Structure 1
């Protein structure tokens, strides 16, 4: 029994407008799940769920963005020319350069129209077959411990681990990576980007939630009420959801 990382959820002031930006940025399809509330994004000619891609749900929330996001997306590029062209195209779509203290690095840090930070990575061999999203990057204080939790939670393969970072990927060797990066910044507010996991068909989501609690997850009340999903936090307090099997 395990869960699959099927999508990330991204909070927004306007799910429709932010959904349009990311659909154009990734060249993905978008659809309205609930008008004014949720916009779904997924690759073209894609059958959900499939580990070849992690989809995006953009969700309208009343809370504004106040701090740097602890979870962000890294976009893949195939060459220096591709990186420069992609940055230019994203800026035309409404992205803006942002300084998060990155200094002199080969990747480019941008913010989407609502201020959500993301990176356009320089060409990396490891990202050659990920699709447009190279990695989902999460800040943490202990990459080794977080890699143990998430590897067991999703049965993902650990590719690299040091005191500074950890890198995991689907056991099927497809789709984006999960990169856990050590940072001194403490978590202070609810994450505006979080992971959504889905049990396999026939699995019991309550049993799966119990398994994750045994690994170190904990329950959290975000006002979800009697929603069909279960809200949990990982050992460092990052929110994630267990959806219904599908």
Structure 2
């Protein structure tokens, strides 16, 4: 049985402020905790903001890609991001490239993709989690979540839920040097009928490693994927 994606967790200096920014940009509601941006549709996943961001010395391992229905829609998304506290970001993009690179109020990169991008067609407004990662880690998450590969070329991989929604993609080599704890990580859970310990063993057999030294606790188990990126296995729900 495969794990289920529960949420994208995002470490922040000010979780409440960052949750408000992303809720406004994605046009989603915030949960009663004030820090979880809820999905609008069942193919979307929550984004939970938590304290604990570490100082940045390089780009994030994960950044988000937002889609556009038209050039005017792209411009409106950019304008909304700027009004909410975002800013333009220069990462060396070329003038002829159609996407717009921005940063949220804490400097986390994201892109507003141009209209007509065939690769993200049908993915929804939050089109992709674009990750720095190897082909091996793409295969790991394919098997961990049971999501099919929708891209596998030149060591770049992407998976997507069979129900649709955002893709999760890994750009292949060269990988950026690790500069500390990732700001974003995935939280997953076993199928309802599965035992947490059995799912840990399955994920380790797929290439994960345990980061807990005390065996975990009632809130779950911390592991790392084959590239060393932390993720959280929560108890069955």
- Alignment TM-score, normalising by the size of structure 2: 0.91
1:233 aligned residue = 224
Q: Extract structure 1 runs of 4+ deviating beyond 4 A.
A: 221-225
In structure 2, distance between residues paired with 1:58 and 1:175? 21
Asked if the contact 2:10–2:183 (Cα under 8 Å) also holds between the matched residues in 1, the reply is: yes
Listed as ranges, the gaps of 5+ residues in structure 1 are none
RMSD: 2.1
Return the alpha-carbon distance in structure 2 between the equivalents of residues 102 and 5 of structure 1: 32
Residue in 1 that maps onto 2:39: 43
Distance in 2 between residues matched to 1:169 and 1:149, nearest whole Å:
13
CA distance in 2, matches of 1:106, 1:224: 47
Q: Which residue of 2 aligns with 1:127?
A: 120
The number of residue pairs the alignment matches comes to 234
Contact 1:65 1:192 in 2 (8 A): no
- Displacement of 1:163 in angstroms is 2.1
CA distance in 2, matches of 1:132, 1:227: 35
Do structure 1's residue 206 and structure 2's residue 197 form an aligned pair? yes
8 A contact 2:67–2:125 mirrored in 1: yes
Task: Give how far 1:222 is off.
Answer: 9.3
Verify the 8 A CA contact 1:217 1:232 in the aligned structure 2.
yes
Contact 2:54 2:181 in 1 (8 A): no
User: Alpha-carbon deviations, 1:72-122, whole Å to 9, x = none?
Assistant: 111111112211111111111111111223334221111100111111111
Distance 1:29 1:138 in 2: 25
Question: Which blocks of at least 5 consecutive residues in structure 2 are unaligned?
Answer: none
TM-score between the two structures when normalised by the length of structure 1: 0.88
The alignment status of 1:87 with 2:78, answered yes or no, reads: yes
Residue 24, structure 1, aligned to residue 24, structure 2: yes
CA contact (8 A) 2:190 2:196 kept: yes
Q: Secondary structure in 1 aligned to 2:20?
A: helix
CA 1:227 to 1:129, structure 2 compared with 1: closer, same or farther past 3 Å?
same
